[in-house]
Amino acid sequence: MQNHEAQINTWLKENRARGARLLQILVRENSTRGNESSAQAILIEKCRQLGLTLDIWEIGSEDLKNHPAYCCDRHNFEGNPNLVAVLKGTGGGKSLILNGHIDVVPVGNESSWERDPFSGHIECGKLYGRGATDMKGGTAALLMALESIIASGIKLKGDVIFQSVIEEESGGAGTLAAVLRGYCADGAIIPEPTNMKIFPKQQGSMWFRITVKGKAAHGGTRYEGVSAIEKSVKVIQRLQQLEKDRNAKISEPLYQKIPIPIPVNIGKITSGEWPSSVPDTAVIEGRMGVAPNETMQSAQAEMEACLNELNEQDSWFKDHPLTIEWFGGRWLPGNMESSHPLMKELSASFREVNGEEPVVEASPWGTDGGILSAVGNTPVVVFGPGTTEIAHDANEYIILDEMFAASEIIALTILKWCGVQE
């Protein structure tokens, strides 16, 4: 194995420019939602060059749309396929899924960017552009890891299943489609931007919409009405208390350094149509975090009970009850044990490459890992280059040294996990 590790290290050192170029051409493709095809085409061609067995298909089947974990509001997937590419093993080893998503979030205000958001510009060891960190850098690291193994002539016992899916940023329909197509494994690595930390547990999350009713009136006689905005303040305060209560119950050691492990975030409030009118409706939309060890249903029930309690306590709400709708994005939680063998192999590879112990924490955000583990019964660990602090921001970038280190760590983990045919 020592010789194989040296081969991997040498190949990656000699092919850094190749890896940077792959990421650069990926970042230059705008693969925001509905525009994933051109970036997928690059990956399809790369996997074809590597000799992998390709499966390319458009998602949207009825079994997908009818699945309880499906939460997508997109209706047209035509021309923007999923990609799965398999490196078949010789037999007798464990299988491994390498899962990345090709979709990126919108660029936002382009004036906030110092250069073209899809430039792929390289400067001072950083590659800039939307998706560089989240998560085309991780995807490039996966392919460099695979190429280093193939180019070194190493034969694996277990299968490696590379996936480039769509729709992760909107709830995971692409990964769910891959699971329902039969792609499961003995383990999985998702190289989301963890800042090179290892996340065996992932927070889940879901979006909610609360409607608050008031009574309209002229602003000059506002005392004749009931402001839905003012009543919303009570709701917000109760949600803040719910967040405190839920987080007080978190005892998971991997969340010790995270101030709010499972937040209740209010992201949007709409109310009123005229400054001189008392608003009769307010709509609060937000995101509820779900602990790795709880179900989506139990988290929903807890918030619904909180709102029902407010309906009973407040005389206005008693006659005009709050209503809640669960809509849009849903990310299932993931809950791998820190003692899992895949954690052992990944941690050992991290030590070999970086010469130090990895930082192991729980993810503060959701990934497709929950779908792989809960629906596909595939144990998942999240580990990758880049950091979420800059992932959805203007001037997103990735440090290329981190990407290459992650690639080597993942390559060595593949050898250990899948086994090598000597």
3-state secondary structure of 400: helix
DSSP state at residue 150 = H
> Among the options 5, 36, 147, 168, which is catalytic?
168
Contact 120, 128 (CB under 8 A): yes
Q: Does residue 309 have an active-site annotation?
A: no
Distance CA 33, CA 35 (A): 5
Does the annotation mark 168 as catalytic? yes
DSSP-assigned states of every residue in 322-362 = -EEEEEEEEE--EE--TT-HHHHHHHHHHHHHHSSPPPEEE
- Angle among Cα 265, 268, 273 to the nearest 5 degrees reads 150
d(CA 213, CA 211): 7
Closest CA to 125 of 400, 384, 387, 386: 400
Question: Annotated catalytic residue: which of 103, 192, 280, 402?
Answer: 103
C-alpha to C-alpha distance for 122 and 388, rounded to whole angstroms: 20
| Tokens at 217, concatenated | 């009136």
Collapse the DSSP code of 166 into the 3-class scheme (helix H, G, I; strand E, B; otherwise coil) and give the result.
Answer: coil
Catalytic residues: 103, 168
